[in-house]
Amino acid sequence: YLFYSMFGFQRTGDLAWAAGDNQTRGFLIGATSGRTTLAGEGLQHGDGHSHVLSSVIPNCKSYDPTFGYELATIFREGLKRMYEKRENIFYYITTMNENYPHPEMPKEKNTEEGILKGMYRFKEYNRNKKTKIQLLGSGAILREIIAAAEILEKDYKIDSNVWSVTSYNELRKEAMEVERYNLLNPDKAPKKNHIEKCLSSTEGPIVSATDYIRLNSDQIRPFIRKSFYSFGTDGYGRSDTR
């Protein structure tokens, strides 16, 4: 089922909930996603919250990929889980409405695992070897995060790690599961969630930016023990620039 992402869960949310209740399998593809990606069409096309709405359906797995290899990895895993393993889940995947270069998958270990868990390091900017910041982005705004990292490195001598967050929803769900396990098993060594595994050993504050309202990325805030700030598109999205 392919649709403008603004016309999905906002218009047919009851049907999406019923699909989950009925253990439906399949892919929902929310095109032209993000509040700024189709701004010229008017506010009614400015999707800034579909991932917030999809997050309430327990068996809906939501992703906001940027690059082709991310999308391919998610589709392959979805087909495997739904049609080989016969899991009663379904996917909501948002896609963009822009032309831009698609790089090859980073060679770092566990990149595919990170894509599926919701987060992986896309690139390290380490020319200056001093001040560091962690930059998180997803979907339409990841490329703006990459541009910001290049400006910080060149003009302000600030190094950074750029993290592609393919799913804030999946990060939160996994972190909640780990939190519950640790609560129920105080006699065992505590587990670390994926967010902690990615960020606990890094330096500097964490900045997250998406094309959705700040609540989308704020949902991982309780699981981050460092200075965290989120940028989003709260309001009606009337800004003419990113």
Same domain assignment for residues 125 and 220: yes
Report the pLDDT averaged over residues 39-43: 65
In a domain, 153, yes or no: yes
CATH of the domain at 220: 3.40.50.920
What is the CA 94 to chain-centroid distance, rounded? Answer: 10
DSSP annotation of 104 reads P
Q: Quick check: is 105 in a domain? A: no
Q: How far apart are CA 123 and CA 71, in angstroms?
A: 18
Residues 73 and 154 in one domain: no
* Residue 220 CA: distances (Å) to CA of 60, 61, 202: 18, 16, 17
pLDDT value of position 143: 96
In total, how many domains does the chain have?
A: 2
CA-to-CA distance for 160 and 177, rounded, in angstroms?
A: 29
- 195 belongs to a structural domain: yes
Cβ–Cβ < 8 Å for 93, 71: yes
Phi, psi of 180 (to 5 degrees): -65, -45
Mean of pLDDT values over 1-7: 91
Determine contact, residues 208/230, Cβ cutoff 8 Å.
yes
| 226 and 153 housed in the same domain | yes
Where a domain ends, among 36, 59, 94? 94
Residue 242 belongs to some domain of the structure: no
In a domain, 239, yes or no: no
- 239, 48 in Cβ contact below 8 A? no
Is the pTM higher than 0.85? The answer reads yes
| Mean pLDDT score across all residues of the chain | 93
Would the pLDDT of 32 be above 80? Answer: yes
Q: What is the per-residue pLDDT across 174-227, written as a single tens digit (0 to 9) for each? A: 999 999 999 999 999 999 999 999 999 999 999 999 999 999 999 999 999 999
Question: What is the predicted pLDDT for the residue at 97?
Answer: 83
At 61-92, the pLDDT tens digits run 999 999 999 999 999 999 999 999 999 999 99
Q: How far apart are CA 226 and CA 204, in angstroms?
A: 8
- C-beta separation of 92 from 54 below 8 A: yes
Q: Which of 25-29, 130-134, 186-190 has the lowest mean pLDDT?
A: 130-134
pLDDT of 41 above 70 = no
Residue 207 lies inside a defined structural domain of this protein = yes
**pLDDT-based confidence at residue 106 (cuts at 50, 70, 90):** very high
pLDDT band of residue 38 (cuts 50, 70, 90) is confident
Is residue 27 one of the residues assigned to a domain? yes
Residues 139 and 83 in one domain: no
Same domain (yes/no): 225, 178: yes
Parent domain of 219: 118-231
- Start-to-end CA distance of the chain, whole Å, equals 29
For residue 240, is it within any domain? no
Q: What is the pLDDT of residue 40?
A: 61
**CATH value at residue 16:** 3.40.50.970
Could you tell me the maximum CA-CA distance found in the chain, to the nearest angstrom? 56
Comparison of pLDDT for 73 and 236, the residue scoring more: 73
Average pLDDT for 93-121: 95
The predicted pLDDT at position 35 comes to 87
